[in-house]
C-alpha cells in the first residue's frame, strides 16, 4: 500500500474533521475497477465505493449521460419537474412490477430512511421495530433505527419507541410487533454488520406478520439494490412485496442519489408540503441513474452477478482460514476463523486490492457489476496469498 504523502496528511489534519481518521490511500483517478493513487500505484477496487460505483469508475455511459445533461439543464429544485427525473421514477416503478409504486427522490440512504420513518408517522402510530446489527444511516432518525450501539451511544437521547430485535429471529419479531407498531424496517441482507443473510423464509414471514397487525414493512435496499444481489432490490428471491423500499448507493451510478418508493394503494403518501429536499432527484444524478439501469439491463449484469457469486463462494470457501462465505450476487462477506480482518484488508491493499473489514472477523467485497472473470480470479489468488501472509500459513 502506498503511504499517503506527508503533505496530504498535513492538509487533511488542517482542514478536515477526523471522523474518518486520516485515510491511508489518496485516490486520484479510476477507470472501470482500476483506481490509481497519488503515488501512481494501481489497485483493483473490490469495494466499489461501498457498493456505490455499480458500473465502476468513469463508465462511458455515465460520463456521456452526465456530460449531456449538465450541458443542457443542471439544478432546478423541486418547484419544477424535469424529463430525467420523471423517466427515472417511471423506470423504478417498472422495476418493482407494481404500477401503484410512487417515488420520492433524495440524496442518500440516510435520507431515504428518514423519509420512511417520517412516512410511518402518517399511520397515527409511533412504535417501530428494527434489527440488531442493522445500519440505516447516521442522521438522528436513521441512527435511531440503526442497531449498532457503538454508533448510537455518543448521541443519546435518540428517538423513543424504537425496539431492536435480533436479525433473522422470527419469534423475537412476533413478540415485538403488535397493532400499535407503525413499521418494521429490515435490510434483506445486513451489509455493515458483515453481509449477514437471514434464514430462508424470513422476509416472507415478516410480510405475514405485518399483514396480521396492519404494520408497514420497509426493506432497506440501500446496499442490496440496483442489481447487486442478482435482482433489482435484493428481496425478490422470497417473492414478497414490501410497503416501502429505500434505495441509494448504486442507484446514482456513483452520483449522490437516493429514493424512497411506496407500494400499494393503502400505503401512506406525503401530501404537498409535508416533506422535501433541495437536491433530491436532480437532473444530473437522475440521468446517471437512468444510464446505469440501461447498462445493467443491456449487458445482463444481474445474471453475471449470480454467476460470480457461485464462483467466489466455491473458490474462497476452499481457502484455509475461511470459515464461511455469505451474501448474494456481488455483495459478499468472507468470515474468517479469527479476528484479523483489518490486517488482512491492509495486506490486500498493499497487494493492490481494495476491500473492507466491517468487523474484526469479516472481509466485505462489493465490486462493480462490470467486474470480469479475470478480475474475479485475480482477487481469489490475491486473497489466498494475503491470507498466508497475515496468518503465516
258 pairs with which residues across the strands? 106
Which of the following is catalytic: 220, 308, 353, 379? 220
CA distance 247 to 250: 8
- Which candidate in 46, 125, 249, 383 is catalytic? 249
Q: What is the DSSP string of 192-220?
A: TTTSBPPPTTHHHHHHHHHHHHT-EEEEE
* Options 104, 135, 219, 233, the catalytic residue: 135
* Residues forming a β-bridge with 334: 325, 363
Task: Quote the CA–CA distance of 124 and 295 in Å, as a whole number.
Answer: 42
Q: Is residue 393 classed as helix, strand or coil in its secondary structure?
A: coil
- Using left for φ > 0, alpha for ψ between -120 and 50, and beta otherwise, residue 164 falls in beta
Give the C-alpha separation, 305 to 231, whole Å.
Answer: 9
Of residues 362, 325, 356, the one with CA closest to residue 340: 362
Contact present, 227 and 305 (Cβ < 8 Å): yes
Nine-digit cell string for 118: 417520517
In what helix (H) or strand (E) does residue 373 lie, and over which residues does it extend?
helix 373-391
Instruction: Identify the DSSP state of 237.
Output: G
What is the Rg, in whole angstroms, of the alpha carbon atoms belonging to the chain? 21
The C-alpha cell at 148 is: 449498532
220 is catalytic: yes
Residue 308: how many CB atoms within 10 A of its CB?
Answer: 22
Based on the residue annotation, tell me whether 249 is a catalytic residue of this protein: yes
How far apart are alpha carbons 217 and 205 in whole angstroms? Answer: 11
* Residue 51 contacts residue 38 (beta carbons within 8 Å): no
Contact of 336 with 234, CB cutoff 8 Å: no
Task: Compute the distance between CA of residue 222 and CA of residue 110 in angstroms, rounded to an integer.
Answer: 9
Q: What angle do CA 186, 189, 195 make, to 5 degrees?
A: 135
Who contacts 374 (Cβ-Cβ below 8 Å, separation ≥6)?
Answer: none
Residues with active-site annotation? 135, 220, 249
Amino acid at each position: 500500500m502506498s503511504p499517503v504523502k506527508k503533505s496530504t496528511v498535513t492538509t487533511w489534519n488542517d482542514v478536515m474533521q477526523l471522523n474518518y481518521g486520516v485515510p491511508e490511500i489518496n485516490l486520484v483517478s479510476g477507470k472501470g475497477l482500476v483506481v490509481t493513487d497519488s503515488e501512481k500505484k494501481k489497485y483493483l477496487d473490490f469495494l466499489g465505493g461501498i457498493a456505490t460505483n455499480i458500473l465502476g469508475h468513469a463508465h462511458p455511459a455515465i460520463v456521456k449521460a452526465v456530460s449531456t445533461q449538465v450541458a443542457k439543464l443542471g439544478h432546478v429544485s423541486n418547484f419544477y419537474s424535469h424529463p430525467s427525473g420523471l423517466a427515472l421514477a417511471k423506470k423504478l416503478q417498472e422495476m418493482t412490477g407494481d404500477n401503484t409504486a410512487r417515488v420520492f427522490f433524495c440524496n442518500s440512504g440516510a435520507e431515504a430512511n428518514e423519509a420512511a420513518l417520517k412516512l410511518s408517522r402518517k399511520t397515527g402510530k409511533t412504535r417501530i421495530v428494527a434489527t440488531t446489527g442493522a445500519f440505516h444511516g447516521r442522521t438522528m432518525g436513521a441512527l435511531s433505527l440503526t442497531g449498532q450501539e457503538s454508533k448510537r451511544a455518543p448521541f443519546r437521547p435518540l428517538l423513543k419507541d424504537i425496539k431492536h430485535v435480533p436479525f433473522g429471529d422470527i419469534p423475537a419479531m412476533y413478540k415485538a410487533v403488535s397493532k400499535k407498531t407503525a413499521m418494521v424496517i429490515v435490510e434483506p441482507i445486513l451489509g455493515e454488520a458483515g453481509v449477514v443473510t437471514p434464514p430462508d423464509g424470513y422476509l416472507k414471514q415478516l410480510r405475514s406478520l405485518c399483514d396480521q397487525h396492519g404494520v408497514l414493512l420497509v426493506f432497506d435496499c440501500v446496499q442490496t439494490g440496483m442489481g447487486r444481489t442478482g435482482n433489482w432490490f435484493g428481496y425478490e428471491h422470497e417473492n414478497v412485496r414490501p410497503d416501502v423500499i429505500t434505495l441509494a448507493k448504486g442507484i446514482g451510478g456513483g452520483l449522490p442519489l437516493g429514493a424512497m418508493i411506496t407500494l400499494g394503494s393503502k400505503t401512506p403518501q406525503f401530501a404537498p408540503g409535508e416533506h422535501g429536499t433541495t437536491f433530491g432527484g436532480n437532473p444530473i444524478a437522475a440521468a446517471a441513474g437512468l444510464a446505469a439501469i440501461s447498462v445493467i439491463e443491456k449487458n445482463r449484469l444481474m445474471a453475471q452477478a449470480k454467476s460470480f457469486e457461485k464462483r467466489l463462494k466455491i473458490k474462497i470457501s476452499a481457502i484455509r482460514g475461511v470459515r464461511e462465505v455469505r451474501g448474494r450476487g456481488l455483495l459478499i462477506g468472507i468470515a474468517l476463523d479469527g479476528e484479523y480482518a483489518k490486517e488482512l484488508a491492509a495486506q490486500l491493499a498493499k497487494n493492490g486490492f481494495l476491500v473492507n473489514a466491517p468487523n474484526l472477523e469479516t472481509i466485505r467485497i462489493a465490486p462493480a457489476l462490470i467486474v470480469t472473470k479475470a478480475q474475479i480470479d485475480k482477487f481469489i489468488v490475491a486473497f489466498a496469498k494475503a491470507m498466508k501472509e497475515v496468518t503465516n500459513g
